[in-house]
Amino acid sequence: MCGIVGYTGPRSTARVLLDGLKRLEYRGYDSAGAAVLTPERVEVVKALGKVRNLEAAARKKSEFMAATGAGIAHTRWATHGAPSVINAHPHLDNSGTFAVVHNGIIENFRELRSHLTSRGCKFVSETDSEAIAHLISECYEGDLVQAVAAAVKRLHGTYGLGVISSRHPGLLVAARKGSPIVIGIGKGENFIASDVAPLLSYTREVMYLDDGDLAVLTPDSVEVRNVENVPVEREVARIDWDADAAEKGNYAHFMLKEIYEQPETIANTIRGRIDRQLNSAVLSGLGLTPRELASVSRVVIAGCGSSMHAGMVGEYYFEDIAGIPAEVEQAAEFRYRNPIIEPDTLVLPISQSGETADTLAAVREARNKGALVAALCNVVGSTIAREAGRGIYLHAGPEISVASTKAFTSQITVLLLLALLMGRNRRLDSTDGARIADEIEQLPDLIRQVLDQAPVIEKIARRYARFEHFFFIGRGSLYPTALEGALKLKEISYVHAEGYHAAELKHGPIALLDENHPVIALANNIPGRDKMLGNIQECRARNSPVVALVTAGDAAVRDLAGDVIQIPACSRFAAPLPTVVALQLFAYYVAVERGCEVDQPRNLAKSVTVE
């Protein structure tokens, strides 16, 4: 949730840190700070709000800007203590010798705080993280690495850490337990970060730390040690994303750019994955033989937020295409509900970031119960991808906007490919397989047709932007699509929006309908469409303004609804994708009209690494 950047090398440390923080802005944060080493001391700058505030404060300190050598920086998303300059990271020990940035939550922080206070430490912030700086100071006997190793042994909870000290000018120490740290390997310089985005302008060679790892970086070396303080080799991975992929280009917001990228990102998700001879899918990351795949008796999908909604669409695919019982678990419930998982259950955790704490916990629980686990992640080398051991990457490229768009459509595409593979592995014949493969290949074009209608959607959205309450209704696989449409709207425009199954409306929520409660009705021409007509009539009878998403040319619905957004004709399997793209655009334009911070909605973080 918070972001970390660290650097050691000959460049202007402040420049690398500030640029890196800007690339982490999408993670959601309330304050930021950085520490560099000057010949005399650790120099710290902090600011509330945006990185540009931090940059303005840093520019006033010439010593700070001129520093080279090791440095660390952080964007904070408050957990312990309100957003404030004092609570912003880096935190220092009382001698001002050690600076620490921390992601995660220290659960024994009260005990540590009272122990350290009894030893004379003065805490200046309300954070749990500050305790780490004091603890390192307490453990220090001339060796920074040994001090960090000793300190982290006393921490309960989760941490991703970056540490520097004025006593060790070129040295940067990182540690990880439960909160990701990735090392960027350069030439004569090295980096740490909480994800790869800040590293892309400098290097593509990265190394992911495992839980319990401690990394020691100088400009010329990277050494990783495990919990037992034994040096370990960690694989060096190469990142394909280029720095441009993480830039806004000519778009007003990352969200809009990512919405428009979808024809391309879906094409990337599909590329090389359709086998036209077998009319099936090729998903090599699954690492399951046809026999193993055929022995799967049940699919359980776990995820949070948009990823869970994608899973709910997938549930229809597995049952409809592959004839396999499927269910979706809210990942946070998965562990605590003690689900029934058998060895022939295939558990599919879905996570764009691959770092969501609840989804990771579900992976661990499923593995512990002996299930086959295959993760659907976007971020290559992320914790969930690595811990699951097998899976399918989305290949959607970096998703910077907090609101998920292109990852969501790629998740659905992967689920459709997997259902095709499992269907062909069972009862689905080659002709039906070929039809579904065709539909998958047409997805980018369907999305393009929706994007062409952006001006119409924008016009409608701007008119509806004054409303404070919305219902989104759908049936079949358009029911989870309605949930996703409502989530998009509420998270970026702060409008109250509820997704409902259209049939559920009559079981209570209809009481709310009136001229101030517009209904967005997903009435495409797929099974359930006729009943949707009835539902739209019910809404209109209560004076609710209705925007209907309809199959192009469907005059019957057009006459019922006040406003209409046309979705190209497509099958029930394809329909959620073009439909959700229209809803993403709708939410985007409502948010813009209401003057909201589209890419960084309040209170939200891109990657939710705490439970």
Provide the binding-site residues for ligand F6R, judged by CB under 6 A.
304-307, 351-353, 356, 359, 403-404, 487, 491, 607-608
Give residue for tokens 């691959």. 354
Q: Which is nearer to ligand F6R, 125 or 359 (CB)?
A: 359
Q: Which is nearer to ligand F6R, 404 or 544 (CB)?
A: 404
- Phi and psi at residue 101, in whole multiples of 5°? -115, 145
| 30 touches 76 (CB < 8 A) | yes
Q: Which is nearer to ligand F6R, 44 or 361 (CB)?
A: 361
* CB of 57 vs ligand F6R, minimal distance in Å: 31
Residue 469 CB partners (closer than 8 Å, separation 6+) = 495, 496, 497, 512, 516, 517, 518
Give me the helices (H) in 45-202, please: 51-59, 62-66, 109-118, 130-139, 144-153
* CB of 388 vs ligand F6R, minimal distance in Å: 13
Write out the DSSP string of 347-409.
EEEEESSS--HHHHHHHHHHHHTT-EE-EEESSTT-HHHHHH-SEEE-------SSS-SHHHH
**Cα–Cα nearest to 229, from 146, 159, 289:** 146
Q: Is 575 helix (H, G, I), strand (E, B) or coil?
A: coil
The kind and range of the H/E element at 263 are: helix 262-270
Q: Do the bridges between strand 159-165 and strand 98-103 make them parallel or antiparallel, or are there none, so unpaired?
A: antiparallel
The active-site residue out of 2, 539, 570, 596 is 2
Q: Is 2 assigned a catalytic role?
A: yes
Buried b (16+ CB within 10 A) or exposed e, 515-531: eebbbbbbbbbbebbee
Question: Interior CA angle at 389 toward 386 and 395, to 5°?
Answer: 65
* CB of 357 vs ligand F6R, minimal distance in Å: 9
* CB of 303 vs ligand F6R, minimal distance in Å: 6
* CB of 488 vs ligand F6R, minimal distance in Å: 6
| 502 touches 550 (CB < 8 A) | no
Q: Which is nearer to ligand F6R, 218 or 306 (CB)?
A: 306
* CB of 192 vs ligand F6R, minimal distance in Å: 21
| 352 touches 307 (CB < 8 A) | yes
Q: Do the bridges between strand 221-225 and strand 496-501 make them parallel or antiparallel, or are there none, so unpaired?
A: unpaired
Q: Which is nearer to ligand F6R, 351 or 600 (CB)?
A: 351
* CB of 360 vs ligand F6R, minimal distance in Å: 9
Q: Which is nearer to ligand F6R, 127 or 158 (CB)?
A: 158
Q: Which is nearer to ligand F6R, 363 or 608 (CB)?
A: 608
Q: Which is nearer to ligand F6R, 434 or 604 (CB)?
A: 604
d(CA 545, CA 540): 7
Q: Is 565 helix (H, G, I), strand (E, B) or coil?
A: strand
Q: Do the bridges between strand 563-567 and strand 519-523 make them parallel or antiparallel, or are there none, so unpaired?
A: unpaired
d(CA 198, CA 18): 10
| Closest residue to ligand F6R, based on beta-carbon distance | 305
Q: Which is nearer to ligand F6R, 134 or 606 (CB)?
A: 606
* CB of 444 vs ligand F6R, minimal distance in Å: 21
User: Residue 431 CB: number of other CB atoms within 10 A?
Assistant: 8
Q: Which is nearer to ligand F6R, 133 or 304 (CB)?
A: 304
Residue 36 pairs in a beta bridge with 43, 71
The sign one gets for the Cα dihedral 52, 53, 59, 63 is negative
| 24 touches 180 (CB < 8 A) | no
d(CA 194, CA 447): 32
Q: Is 187 assigned a catalytic role?
A: no
d(CA 221, CA 2): 26
> Which tokens is 361 given?
């916990």
CA 524 to chain centre: 29
* CB of 531 vs ligand F6R, minimal distance in Å: 28
Give residue for tokens 């209560």. 542
The active-site residue out of 22, 177, 406, 606 is 606
* CB of 352 vs ligand F6R, minimal distance in Å: 3
Q: Which is nearer to ligand F6R, 123 or 494 (CB)?
A: 494
* CB of 545 vs ligand F6R, minimal distance in Å: 25
Q: Do the bridges between strand 519-523 and strand 546-551 make them parallel or antiparallel, or are there none, so unpaired?
A: parallel
CA 174 to chain centre: 23
- Which residue numbers are catalytic? 2, 606
